[in-house]
Amino acid sequence: MVLIYVDDILITGSSTTQTLTLIVKLNQLFDLKDLGALSYFLGIEVKQTSQGLRLCTYGYDPVEDPQFYRSIVGDLQYLTLTHPDISFSVYKVCQFMHAPFQLHWCVIKCILRYLSSSINYGLHLRRSSSLDLVEFCHGDWVANPDDCHSTNGFCICFGLNLVAWQAKKQQTASRSSNEVEYRSLATVTAELTWLTSLLAELHHNPSFVLVIWCDNLSTVMLAANPALHARTKHIELDLYFVKVQNHTIQVQHVSSYD
């Protein structure tokens, strides 16, 4: 498997011999510089551990005296690649890029102080005997008091490892929590569709029905009962995108506490 981003290439495989052979053949066609075992890629530091890999951004843009709001927020956006724990906070400060106030500077400083105290934290990728996809979605109704827009949130795990997550404001205002949750469900379904397609290219096809966990019972019932769809024509596109009709995806309930 070869991952290419502009002129940076990451090669992995189950056979070391075949991997090295591929590097030699590529070097015959292009001028390559082999940096050896993976340790640094696109600003992300990769450390080999006995349990797998640890991804962190320890050496990325240390800022002692931040002066430009936009540049700091841009750095924080990149840090979310290995710090999913700051995704929601960074999403909030991104909404005030054009006209930040002193309050927003205080939030930026809180995030930077947190990162300073957790600078050695990272995203752990561990060996796992399970290759199941586990998805959770949630919608926060009218989370933004300025424009009454709601927020989508989801996370997807592949085995024991977190591989996708998002916290994003919806583009339109929703009139009910049910509508918010269903739009969140459609968002995670889109991401899940892409992931299953990618896994199919890697010769892994789940033999089971994929399950998305949602904490809103009304949304679970709406996804399972087509008779209710006539009442929600304003989100018809999201309704038909969630593939519950052909039984490839099931929506099940999980408590908000869990």
What average pLDDT values come out for the chain (258 residues) when binned by 10 residues? 91 92 92 89 87 78 63 90 89 83 86 90 86 87 76 89 88 78 87 89 79 86 70 58 63 86
Q: Which CATH code fits 129-200+207-253?
A: 3.30.420.10
12 CB-side CA count, 13 A: 5
Question: Mapping DSSP to helix (H, G, I), strand (E, B) and coil, where does residue 29 land?
Answer: helix
Residues of the chain with CATH 3.30.420.10: 129-200+207-253
Q: What is the pLDDT of residue 23?
A: 92
Strands (E), the chain: 2-5, 8-11, 40-41, 44-49, 52-56, 123-126, 133-140, 151-158, 161-169, 210-214, 249-253
| Amino acid found at 103 | L
Q: Give yes or no for a contact between 144 and 169, defined as CB atoms under 8 angstroms apart.
A: yes
Q: What is the pLDDT of residue 245?
A: 47
In Å, the largest CA–CA distance within the chain is 62
Give the span between the Cα atoms of 98 and 87, in whole angstroms: 20
Q: What is the pLDDT of residue 63?
A: 45
Q: How distant, in Å, are the alpha carbons of 20, 128, 220, 233 from that of 178?
A: 53, 35, 9, 13
Give the span between the Cα atoms of 57 and 207, in whole angstroms: 36
243 CB-side CA count, 13 A: 13
Q: Give yes or no for a contact between 153 and 87, defined as CB atoms under 8 angstroms apart.
A: no
DSSP class of residue 6 equals T
Q: What is the pLDDT of residue 163?
A: 92
Alpha helices in 62-176 (DSSP H): 69-79, 87-93, 102-117
Q: What is the pLDDT of residue 111?
A: 95
Q: What is the pLDDT of residue 229?
A: 59
Which residues sit opposite 156 in a β-bridge?
A: 135, 164
Q: What is the pLDDT of residue 17?
A: 93
Q: Give yes or no for a contact between 211 and 204, defined as CB atoms under 8 angstroms apart.
A: no
